[in-house]
Structure 1
Amino acid sequence: MVKPPASTFGAVKSETLHVPPLLDGRIADLLDGQKIVMTGVTGFIGEQILWKVLAECPGTTVGVLVRPKGSVTAHQRVAGLLGKKIFAEIVAAAGGVDALMASRVEVISGDLPGVPDLPRDLDVLVHCAGDVSFDPPIDQAFMTNVVGTRALLTKLREACSDDDGNLVKVPHYVHVSTAYTAGRRRGAIPEAAHVHNVDYESETAAALAMKDHIEARSRSSEQLTALRRQAEELHAKAGYLTTSEDTERRRQEWVKQELVSAGTERARSLGWTDVYTFAKALGERVVTDLGADFRVSIFRPAIVESSLKYPYPGWIEGFKMADPIILAYGRGQLPEFPASPDAVIDIIPCDFIVNGIIAVCATRPTVGQPEFYHGSSGARNPLTFRGIYEHVRSYFAKHPYTSGQGSTPLATWNFPGAEPIEKFMWVAEKGVRVGNKLLSYAPRGKNTRKWASALDKSAKQLEFLGKYLTLYGEYLQSELHFVDDCTLALHNSLHPDDREKFGFDSASFDWTHYMEEVHIPAITDPVRRLEAARKRRQGRSSTFRDLKPAEPGTVLAAFDLDGTVMATNVVETYLWARLPELSPLRRAAEVARVAAQLPLYLGAERRDRGVFLRSIYRRYAGADLAALEEYVDQHLAPLILDRMSPAAIRRIREHRDAGHTTILLTGAIRPLTRPFEGLFDTIVAAELATDADGRCTGFLSGPPMVGESRSAWLQHYAKLHDIELGGSFAYADSHVDLPMLGTVGNPVAVSPDIGLMRAAKARGWSIVEWPAMSPLPRWKMS
């Protein structure tokens, strides 16, 4: 790749080029004795700015605006921040965290837009806090980037004014924005204010009012009906409370998505790519208006990724814009990508941005003349999407991501553009919907769960690709570059002794070294280690815990029966129990009648398990309950025990040995649970109602124990016996048992159906397989 000249600064005639304020000494000397107040110190860039100032500017003190978080105070959050690895040498030199904070770091407890009074001795205010998501809800974007900026500038003026409101000290306000405030422009973007006539006051008022408007829409009968039906389609069997909780969750998600869509469409209607860049652009206008009599510098980073050198190569906090793409490609999850191959992805290492911001802090811009700087690489050291693909492919060819890639060869991207990929996604999404519909009728089993997991993986990949198409689509086809003449001029004015530690010339590094030796290892190595640790745990999450002895009666372990402890179902057990007392002819007739009713039973089971159980138990009408119990004891007990899972038996005994109270909660009839009386401390089962002669009426003496009734029973039992449910356990196989599992601190999904499997994965619950001894039906009747 042929690079442009290392400097575009000298390529333009001096009389036409704006010369920014330059440095006339070493940065540490220029900032000596000054106080820099910062926002966003707990964020990616802010954390490194704090580190750099404390490490390299010993005569500079810092004030940090940090909000309390729950019960953790702002002071405690800053102390925790200073306890990180990168601050270790600084803390040790100061004599500890408390000593460092007492001498050089002032904590200002507050938030945006609720800004408290700022220190009156401040010299520079660096505002680098803000929502870095590209798709925040419109009200949040404006509250952070416009209202918050306005509040901060108001407090800055108060801190620098006398009691009469007269400015007695001119501060230097450094605003960290984004290069993409340029919006949907093409070509060269100058380091200057963007020309537009959008009224930020009216846009802010409309954005904040949008939340109330959409909240009201979400509560309309039409919208709530639609959301409730979606929830019922998945959770109706689990019960009304589960359905209502999911309905409310869907309503809140709908509100958020509508606010996101409102922000995106409003931004695009006015010429910006998304609400993030739109609100950031209006925030810049707030700065130039309210800071007209301040010294103002606006620094616009492009896509900030891991550090090249400092505090160490590859330093990064969290995943940034390009990182999910890199990981997905290495895992074999991105067969193609809808970017333009010659579009520039404007990546810049974090330490270059931090160095640039600190250098800006050491300048003295003219009052009333805002200075603009681009922290970018695209103008003088461009990296195209084709280029980053080649670097990523080269890295993973040498260092395969075997846990996700396996033997699959690395994908070859041909960059076909967005339209073919959108068509592919439409077909694939339709295939996933059809597959899920078919799976809803498939019998439960390992293969069904395997197919469902494969569909879920495909859906997740499609969701990932769809998000990138929606969120970053225009960035993938970018035809602009950010002129960085002012930034380069500032870099060139660095004192020779500062060039190594404070340099930020974006043309000074090589992409092969940065991408393949610094950045990609920095984001992939921690993920590889995490996935290796998960593999060592054999896929079990922490909810399937090794059992520890407990004080008897303080911990319970609740078990479902059918499909969890025992491989059978209520239709099968009905036939076991009912047929022996019938004549051969009546047996055949009863089997035929049950078979004919199976479609109705299955339909009832899909809608409401309680209705399904009642319909089965109606068939016990006329049966002698005492004879049924005797038959279970003498003939069925061996068969029932033979159908139990050895793994379930071991786990039940482990709980008993640990002093836990073992409970069987089942919708099966009481006689069929008699063989389990030696295993469980308490058995809750369906009670068949009888007449005066002891014959079953076909009805139950109370509602069957299914769905939310199990959760309610456990809560009542725990309260009566002073048992802590947070340390207790529950085991079940069906989505209908979601409420019961959610009641305890250690829920375990056992050979689950698809609904429970997906819920367990989403919640981080353990999923285990407990095969029974006799997976095939066995008939044993006298």
Structure 2
Amino acid sequence: MDASKVAGCFKDKTILITGSTGFLGKMLVEKILRAQPGVKKIYLLVRASNNVAAEQRVIHEIVGNELFGILREKHGADFQSFIKEKLSALAGDIIHENLGLESTRAKQLFEETDIIVNGAATTNFYDRYDVALASNTYGTIHVCKFAKQCARLKLLLHVSTAYVAGTQEGRILEKPLEMGQTLKEGRCLDIEAELELANDVKAKLEMERSGISHGQLEKVAMKELGLKRANYFGWPNVYVFTKAMGEMLLGTMRGELPVVIIRPSIIVSTYQDPFPGWIEGVRTMDVMIAASCEQKLPCFISGPILDSIPGDMVVSASMVAMATHYNCAGAEVVYHVTSALQNPLSCNLLEESVYAYVLINPREKDDKRTIQHKRPLLFSRYAYFHAYMVLAYMTRLVVLYLANYVLLGGRFTEYYNKLSRSLNSLMFVAKLYAPYGFFKGCFDDTNMRKLWGTTGARHGDGYMFNFDPSCINWRQYLFNTHIPAVVKVASQMKSFFFEILFFLKLIAEIIGVLRK
């Protein structure tokens, strides 16, 4: 399927997209408009109090983004009228029946919509259980029910994650999840019971409400419940657990609705489309990159391979998949949009690239002094990292504790408590991310390779819908594109980034205090 046929699939079509204000969502909207200006209408479901507020979000968060620069230049003075004609903002939320839309608007979409793309989700690894269930699990069902009422609908594309596989080892196939399956032998998952449990715990907390700290206590309790239930059934965090349950329900309830499920691995900045290095936020391995560039992280923790894929390749794969399976009644196809089997990115290469980058592009402190960079330690197993932290820092923290109370009369209690809390936070975050960095499975990509084969493109570079990971030179991409992009974004979002570095920054303090 050549590029013109892929683009042609979207001509005169009406598309409903959820999650359009997210990283992938923005890229998908831009790519459809650029590849097929003849698209009839793209409805964007966004959380807002009303349609006017929804339109403002679309203008400021999507259309106003630098990502739309090429489109803006292409259409010139007609850009605003083009956007107004093609995009329509809708106030709604997938956590509600009929997506929270007014009945008249819902009826209109039932009659007009050809394709639905569900990209809305909460991606927080440590989110409240009730919030994650509402969005990632039952939100998926609300989208499915809505899609089944659309008379013209030819396809529902659901964006998931490859890590619904949890902590499985070996080759993980591109196949739908089975209802009730778990990753721990002897345990059966009842999704309705999980929702009831979350509601019961929340109701109990409401009954025990007392004092101004109740809201924070409820938040922590619901987060802990989500993590506990995910671990009980074999998933590492509430995000992938609730996404897995969403897939299970979708497979059970879709009927003859044609469904494509896209499962990307770790998503990184754009490879080439619409330009190299576009990224929003600091995510997953980017935290390590940014922290290392600022000399706030003394070590890298990861297994030998970090399965990563540029965001524009995820979008291109999604569009080719939509064009391929459009109007194929009854189909349910899963695609692993991943790179490890064809072109693996090693943690060693990532660490080498970051170190090489900071040597050539040294960072400066707030006082303009150049940061002296030291090469970080590299731990290929989480157990090694944990042992290192115990020997290097935790034991010394115990010594500080004893010295404080036995010799210093408790004068450093506040400082000790601060370091102790921070160190515990660091270990918690490291453990939360460990299943990604130390993932022992391998994502089969047979379906994705076959999909790429339909394009007829021998090599990804130059093809409008490139999602061929074998064309990526990881060393060049990291050094020239991704690392500079992460550094730029981190510097632009200082307040948020420093909040992330709260756990990492403490290491410098501990090194300075405990090694004395």
Letter in 2 for 1:503: N
CA contact (8 A) 1:35 1:121 kept: yes
Cα distance change on mapping 1:394 and 1:352 into 2, 3 Å = same
Rg (Cα) greater in structure? 1
Matches of 1:53 and 1:440, distance apart in 2: 67
Contact kept in structure 1, 2:47 and 2:92, CA below 8 Å: yes
2:374 to 381, 395, 409: 409
Quote the residue 2:56 is aligned against.
76
CA 1:361–1:369: 2 relative to 1, 3 Å: closer
Per the TM alignment, residue 494 of structure 1 is displaced from its structure 2 partner at its CA by 1.7
| Superposed CA offset, 1:558-602 (max 9, x none) | xxxxxxxxxxxxxxxxxxxxxxxxxxxxxxxxxxxxxxxxxxxxx
Return the offset for 1:414: 5.0
1:480 pairs with one of 424, 435, 441: 441
Residue 527 (structure 1) shift: 3.7
3-state SS of the aligned residue for 1:473?
helix
The counterpart of 2:89, out of the listed 85, 107, 119, is 107
Unaligned runs of 5+ in 1: 1-21, 161-168, 225-246, 443-447, 532-757, 759-782
Partner of 2:228, secondary structure, is: helix
Q: Distance in 2 between matches of 1:478 and 1:394?
A: 26
Q: Tell me which residue corresponds to 2:128.
A: 137
Deviation string 1:692-748 (CA, Å, 9 cap, x unpaired) is xxxxxxxxxxxxxxxxxxxxxxxxxxxxxxxxxxxxxxxxxxxxxxxxxxxxxxxxx
Match of 1:155 among 146, 151, 173: 146
The DSSP-based 3-state class of the residue aligned with 1:108 is strand
Instruction: Report the Cα distance in structure 1 between the residues aligned to 2:46 and 2:402, rounded to whole angstroms.
Output: 49
1:368 aligns with 2:348: no
Match of 2:386 in 1: 419
CA distance in 1, matches of 2:455, 2:84: 31
Tell me the CA shift for residue 461 of structure 1.
Answer: 6.2
**What is the Cα deviation at residue 528 of structure 1?**
4.7
Q: Is the 8 A contact 1:308 1:514 kept in 2?
A: yes
Are 1:91 and 1:100, in contact at CA under 8 Å, matched by a contact in 2?
no
Displacement of 1:97 = 5.8
Q: What's the CA shift for 1:41?
A: 0.6
Return the offset for 1:134: 1.2
Q: 2:509 corresponds to which residue?
A: none
**Match of 2:365, SS?**
helix
Q: Deviations over 1:122-148 (max 9, x none)?
A: 111000010011111111110001111
CA contact 2:23–2:279 (8 Å) conserved in 1: yes
Structure 2 residue aligned with 1:317: 280
Indicate conservation of the 8 Å contact 1:139/1:210, yes or no: no
Structure-to-structure mapping, 1:39-50, within 5 angstroms: 39-50=18-29
Please state how far the C-alpha of 1:332 moved relative to its aligned partner: 2.2
TM-score normalised by length of structure 2:
0.81
Contact 1:28 1:58 in 2 (8 A): no
**Contact 1:380/1:506 (8 A) holds in 2:** yes
Q: What do you get for the CA RMSD once the two structures are aligned? A: 3.2
Can you list the C-alpha shifts for 1:65-97, whole angstroms capped at 9, x where unaligned?
112169961111112221222224434617456
Give the 3 Å change call, closer, same or farther, for CA 454–74 of structure 1 in structure 2. Answer: same
Partner of 2:290: 327
Contact 2:272 2:312 survives alignment (8 Å): yes
1:210-255 CA-to-partner distances (Å, cap 9, x unmatched) read 32234445x3xxxx6xxxxxxxxxxxxxxxxxxxxxx734x43332
Moved more, 507-516 or 190-199: 190-199
The within-5 A match list for 1:269-284 is 269-284=232-247
Equivalent residue runs for 1:692-711 within 5 Å = none
Deviations 1:146-190 (Å, cap 9, x if unpaired)?
111111222222232xxxxxxxx4430000000001122101111
Runs of 4+ in 1 over 6 A off after TM superposition: 431-441, 451-455
Q: CA deviation at 1:504?
A: 0.3
Q: Which amino acid in the other structure matches residue 122 of structure 1?
A: T
How many angstroms apart in 1 are the aligned matches of 2:288 and 2:226?
Answer: 25
Mapped to 2, the partners of 1:529 and 1:175 lie a distance apart of: 31
Partner in structure 2 of residue 124 of structure 1: 115
Q: Alignment partner of 1:406: what SS?
A: coil
**Does the Cα contact within 8 Å between 2:301 and 2:379 map onto a contact in 1?**
no
Inter-CA distance 267–389: structure 2 relative to 1 (3 Å threshold): same
| Separation in structure 1 between the aligned mates of residue 409 and residue 134 of structure 2, nearest angstrom | 44
Q: Deviations over 1:308-330 (max 9, x none)?
A: 11222110011111111112222
Residues 461 and 393 from structure 1, CA distance in 2 versus in 1: closer, same or farther, beyond 3 angstroms?
farther
2:43 is paired with a residue whose SS is: strand
Amino acid at match of 2:455: L
| Separation in structure 2 between the aligned mates of residue 288 and residue 305 of structure 1, nearest angstrom | 28
Q: Secondary structure at the match of 1:378?
A: coil
Match in the other structure for 1:356: 317
Which residue of structure 2 aligns with residue 610 of structure 1? none
Contact 2:379 2:385 (C-alpha < 8 Å) held by counterparts: no
Opposite residue 129 of structure 2, the aligned amino acid is I
Rate the CA distance shift 1:401–1:463 in 2: closer, same or farther, 3 A.
farther
Residues in 1 aligned to 2:118 and 2:404: alpha-carbon distance in whole angstroms: 48
> Partner of 2:134: helix, strand, or coil?
helix
Q: Which amino acid aligns with 1:384?
A: S
| Amino acid in structure 2 at the alignment position of 1:515 | L
Give the counterpart letter for 2:114 in structure 1.
Answer: D
Instruction: Tell whether the 8 Å contact from 1:264 to 1:275 is kept in structure 2 after alignment.
Output: yes
The 3 A distance-change label for structure 1 pair 189 and 33 is: same
Equivalent runs, 1:444-463 vs 2, <5 Å? 462=423
Q: What's the TM-score once normalised by structure 1's chain length?
A: 0.55
SS in 2 for 1:181: helix
Letter in 1 for 2:431: T
Amino acid of the structure 2 residue aligned with 1:490: L
Q: Secondary structure at the match of 1:522?
A: helix
1:258–1:108 distance in 2 versus 1, CA, 3 Å: same
1:103 maps to a residue whose letter is E
Corresponding residue for residue 252 of structure 1: 215
Structure 1 residue corresponding to 2:42, chosen from 62, 65, 68: 62
- Find out whether 1:30 has 2:22 as its counterpart: no
Alpha-carbon offset, residue 283 of structure 1 = 0.5
Q: Secondary structure at the match of 1:139?
A: helix
Runs (5+) with no aligned partner, structure 2:
182-187, 495-501, 503-516
Residue 363 and residue 285 in structure 1: after superposition, are their counterparts in 2 closer, same or farther (change >3 A)?
same
> 1:513: which partner in 2?
476
Distance 1:433 1:41 in 2: 50
What corresponds to 1:51 in structure 2? Answer: 30
Q: Residue type of the partner of 1:47?
A: K
Count of aligned pairs: 466
Alpha-carbon shift at residue 385 of structure 1 (Å): 2.5
| Conserved? CA contact 1:146–1:204, under 8 Å | no
1:183 is aligned to 166
Tell me which of the two structures has the higher relative contact order, counting C-alpha pairs closer than 8 angstroms and 6 or more residues apart. Answer: 2
Distance in 1 (CA, whole Å) between partners of 2:403 and 2:295 is 22
Larger mean Cα displacement after TM superposition, 260-269 or 195-204: 195-204
- Residues 455 and 201 (structure 1), Cα distance of their counterparts in 2 relative to 1, 3 Å cut: closer
